[in-house]
Amino acid sequence: MRQDHLITATQLSRADIEAVLDRAAEIDADPGAVADRYREAVLALCFFEPSTRTKMSFETAIKRLGGATTDMGTVESSSVKKGESLADTVRVVEGYADALVLRHPSEGAAKMAAEFVDVPVINAGDGAGQHPSQTLLDLYTIRENVGLDDLSIGIMGDLKYGRTVHSLAEALTNFDVRQHFISPESLKLPRGVRFDLHNSGAQLREHTDLAEVLPELDVLYVTRIQRERFPDETEYEQIAGEYQIDDDTLELADDDLAVMHPLPRVDEIDPAVDALSQATYFKQAHNGVPVRMALLDFLLSEGEL
Amino acid sequence: MSDRELRVSKIRNGTVIDHVSGGQALNVLSILGIDGSAGLGVSVVMNVPSDRLGLKDVVKVEDRELSQSEVDVISLIAPEATINIIREFDVVEKNRVDRPETVIGLLSCPNRNCITNANEPVETKFDVVDEGVRCAYCGTIIREELATHIDPE
């Protein structure tokens, strides 16, 4: 299927995903082979919200392909501060670059941006919507560790506002995966995501207690529960505390469990877990570079994915 | 309804929207963007007995023939509505409303954080799905009380 942009995970077929992951594996094995492939290419970074991993890994990815970046900088230092619309900003920036990576606080921002420009747009997070390039690196990490079929995954934390969760859950419907969603009642999956999952025939179950499913999981994907989602500090501390894991929690888990997290973590994974063989989150973050190199390779070479 | 009970006289030319679910006539006018300011003759009858619907509304718009695409969006709140095109007092065309695939520019997205609420030069767009309508930008689904999301502009 031809894709000019990467906006949501629902647009990705199994074949699309496998093509990117296979290309990422080739690049990972021999990064030198593509070092000069995009010497003239410029990637625009438009981040209307803070980012460390996504922005830096896209930057590293285009540099390792021989290209360069042009960076809008922070909202405070740009024309956005003067009241410029997103539609205008992206139409200006497309004249400076061959592709555009966009993170924005409003849901649907990347979809709208893609309607205004001809260069490929990559959604690097739109509010509580989607974050599909994170999903590709998550899938790459899962495939590396346990494979992508006949798999049980637990996705835990803020499922309502977590954009990495929404994209991952939708992409996983392309594979033979049993999805367990573990969250407090108030942070369950939103109706729109549930609608897509049901339409795709997803095998999903919802839980409020991790212990119910932990022993059968191959992957545990942990996300941060944000303080600002709760009106009351005491309620936040009580609820967030129930969704933190440490080495004691993992005694119930399989030795081959892969514990993943899109990062940054605050206190939902105790640092004691870092030393366990199950801790996969730093490797997951490193995978951002080869996977984003592969994604850029598709979008820049053929103008499509 | 017999002529003796007729509450609004026949129109010479225009469109009669009949079998509107009782109480929805003003929402139908709102969907069509008809507020009287254009000078068209508009008659509204609300909550009259109907065999099929229990209570129904009827809307008559003089000197304007509404197209199928204009009226299909009415099906979202009045699925049983019928559209009669009138010329020289005769019904020359009678159509049912069909569910449209998309609704553009009519509804506002209830998600305050949706890009369509961010003062950008973009019209709202909703895909019609089994459960209701779904924002094409942020994915929010509106299931009930669609009329409350009609954008007055």
- pTM confidence score: 0.90
Indicate if A103 belongs to the active site. Answer: yes
Structural domain that includes position A250? 133-285
**Inter-chain touch B139–A193, beta carbons under 8 Å:** yes
Does B67 belong to an annotated binding site?
A: no
Same domain, A155 and A261: yes
Asked if residue B64 belongs to a domain, the reply is yes
pLDDT at residue A232 in the model = 84
3-state secondary structure of A214: helix
Query: Where are the alpha helices (H) located in chain A, listed in sequence order?
Result: 14-29, 53-64, 86-93, 109-116, 132-146, 163-172, 191-199, 233-242, 281-286, 288-301
Given the residues A37, A53, A55, A207, the one annotated as active site = A53
Domain count of the fold of chain A: 2
CA-nearest residue to A89 within chain B is B120
> What span, in angstroms and rounded, lies between the C-alpha atoms of A16 and B104?
30
> ipTM > 0.90?
yes
Q: Which of B96, B121, B138 is the last residue of a domain?
A: B96
Q: According to the model, what pLDDT value does residue B4 have?
A: 58
Q: Is residue B20 part of a domain?
A: yes
Residue B91 and residue B26 share a domain: yes
| Chain segment B73-102, per-residue pLDDT in tens | 889 888 899 999 999 999 999 999 999 999
Residues A251 and A141 in one domain: yes
CATH value at residue B141: 2.30.30.20
Write out chain B residues lying below 8 Å of A86, CB-based. 115, 118, 120
Question: What are the pLDDT digits (tens) for B101-150?
Answer: 999 998 999 999 999 999 999 999 999 998 889 999 999 999 877 778 88
Owning domain of residue B116: 102-149
- Per-residue model confidence (pLDDT) at position B131: 82
For A82-138, what is each residue's pLDDT tens digit? 789 999 999 999 999 999 999 999 999 999 999 999 999 999 999 999 999 999 999
| B8 domain-assigned | no
| A280 and A141 assigned to the same domain | yes
Nearest residue to B128 via CA among B89, B101, B108, B95: B101
* Whether B85 and B28 share a structural domain: yes
Residue B9 lies in a domain: no
State how far the Cα of A111 lies from the Cα of A187, in Å rounded to an integer: 25
Instruction: Give the C-alpha separation, A265 to B70, whole Å.
Output: 51
In chain B, what residues touch A195 (CB-CB under 8 Å)?
129, 131, 134, 139, 141
